[in-house]
Amino acid sequence: MITIVSLVLFIGREHIAFLVGEPDLRPLLLFGILFIGFSTMHTFSTLILQGFEAIQATGVISIFHHITRLIFAIGLVVIGYGVIGALMGYIAGYAVAAVTGLGYVFYQYYRHSSSGPIEPGLRRRIAEYSIPITATDTAGILDKRIDIVLVGFFIGPVAVAYYTLGKQIITFIESPITALGFTLSPTYESLSARGDRAKAARIYEEALRHGLLLYIPAAAGLALVAEPTVELVFGADYQGAVPVIQVLSLYAVLMSVTKLTSNGLDFLGRAKTRAVVKGATAVLNVALNILLIPTIGVVGAAIATVITYSLYTFANVYIMHSELGLRIKVLFRHITLISAITSVMVVVVYLLTNFITGFITLFTVVAVGAGIWAVLAVGTGLLEIKKVWSVLS
């Protein structure tokens, strides 16, 4: 599959660059063949290790990957290779991670395994289960990338810069919940297979509670300090990204829920159902982007993303509830408390934003908001210090 996709990209790179009106994309698309190959092999090894619940090994390889990518990308840009250097840095990071991950899988799990006959029908079952997961991932890529292409098509590269900046900031703050969802997904399946679905439900509920306790206030705070943050970090030229970030802060909350839910549904055997929902919302996202971008501008793309991802998120939680039997009233009570804590924090931070004049005052305001959140979270019992400390130690 890597060979087929790479060949199509190699043959069609000129046409792709022409269609989006950016001839400078041609060398990037050529190097993109290496990006596809190494990133796919890295993903493959990561998912294999997740299936074996080798989370610690996956974490080490992931850290190694990010450090390598950072060093090579920044290094090549600094010495004058520009955007090509940045892409090559990403490729180098994925190459190191792919070789390390596949090597670990081979030596740890494959080298000493018996080479007996393949179980009858195994290939067919793997293919049948891979189809909905592939469809879901394809729809996910469509969801995450097509809006950027449409922004470029309808408005231009400046708007793409604003929108990409907003999405990158949101993606950056999703790292903790992504790691938690990756870790817990195989656990739901193993507990369910042992007939202990109630315990799986309690684990999911607790993860969701802590995830929302972190991301609802964080998203609200990000929306409040987006304007001074963008101006201080990126400059006044990027102020057009502020409304995009503010709208996409809701997307961050939704994504925190799906990161805990969607991959777990695949392990619970609900990949097909999730694929149908993802495909439908991806098509709706394209339609809304085509409708809203020409009329509202770059913010329209953010609104389309939030609307469609809301539908996808609620569907994921509903499917998880049908599998595990969640305590909806308990979750609703927790969300109400978290919203109350966020409201108090928002009022204080909003009053203080007028005093932000530089990095020191920005960090001070953020620290005050975090302090209010921590005090109220502990006071309401949503955050248990002893439990957090025991996990960290």
> Other C-beta atoms within 10 Å of 282: how many?
22
Residues 176, 309, single domain; the answer is: yes
The answer to whether the predicted template modeling score (pTM) of the entire model surpasses 0.85 is no
**In a domain? residue 373:** no
Burial of 119 (0-12, 13-18, 19+ CB in 10 A): exposed
CB 355 within 8 A of CB 361: yes
Question: Residue 381, Cβ neighbours under 10 Å: how many?
Answer: 8
In a domain, 295, yes or no: yes
Cβ-based neighbour number of residue 147 at 10 Å: 25
Let me know whether 218 and 301 are in one domain: yes
Within this chain, do residues 73 and 170 fall inside the same structural domain, yes or no? no
**81/195 same-domain check:** no
Cβ proximity of 42 and 65 under 8 Å: yes
Residue that is last in its domain, among 289, 310, 326: 326
Residues 230, 288, single domain; the answer is yes
End-to-end CA distance of the chain: 44
Question: Is 90 in the same domain as 233?
Answer: no
* Count of structural domains within the chain: 2
Average pLDDT (263-272) is 84
Distance CA 62, CA 168 (A): 18
pLDDT tens sequence across 211-258: 999 999 999 999 999 999 888 888 888 888 899 999 999 999 999 999
pLDDT at res. 390: 57
Same domain, 14 and 106: yes
- SS3 helix, strand, coil % of the chain, rounded to 5? 90, 0, 10
Q: Do the domain assignments include residue 385?
A: no
Same-domain status, 293 and 160: yes
Cβ atoms within 10 Å, residue 272:
16
- Residue 261 to residue 82: CA distance in whole angstroms: 38
With residue 87 as reference, give the H or E element that holds it.
helix 82-105
97 domain residue, yes or no = yes
Q: pLDDT digits over 12-66, tens only?
A: 888 888 887 778 888 889 899 999 999 999 999 998 888 887 878 888 888 888 8
Does residue 363 lie within any of the structural domains? no
Give the structural domain span for 148: 136-326
Q: Which of 326, 343, 363 is the last residue of a domain?
A: 326
| pLDDT 10s digits, 90-106 | 999 999 999 999 999 99
Residue 131 lies in a domain: no
101 and 141: one domain? Answer: no
Q: Are 197 and 264 in contact (CB under 8 A)?
A: no
Last residue of a domain, one of 306, 326, 346: 326
| Confidence grade of residue 389 (pLDDT, cut at 50, 70, 90) | low
Q: Which percentage of the chain shows pLDDT scores above 90?
A: 40
pLDDT of 307 > 90? The answer is yes
Are residue 106 and residue 167 in the same domain, yes or no? Answer: no
One domain, residues 78 and 186: no
Whether 60 and 172 map to the same domain: the answer is no
Please indicate, yes or no, if residue 176 is contained in any of the structural domains.
yes
Rounded Cα–Cα distance for residues 274 and 134 (Å):
11
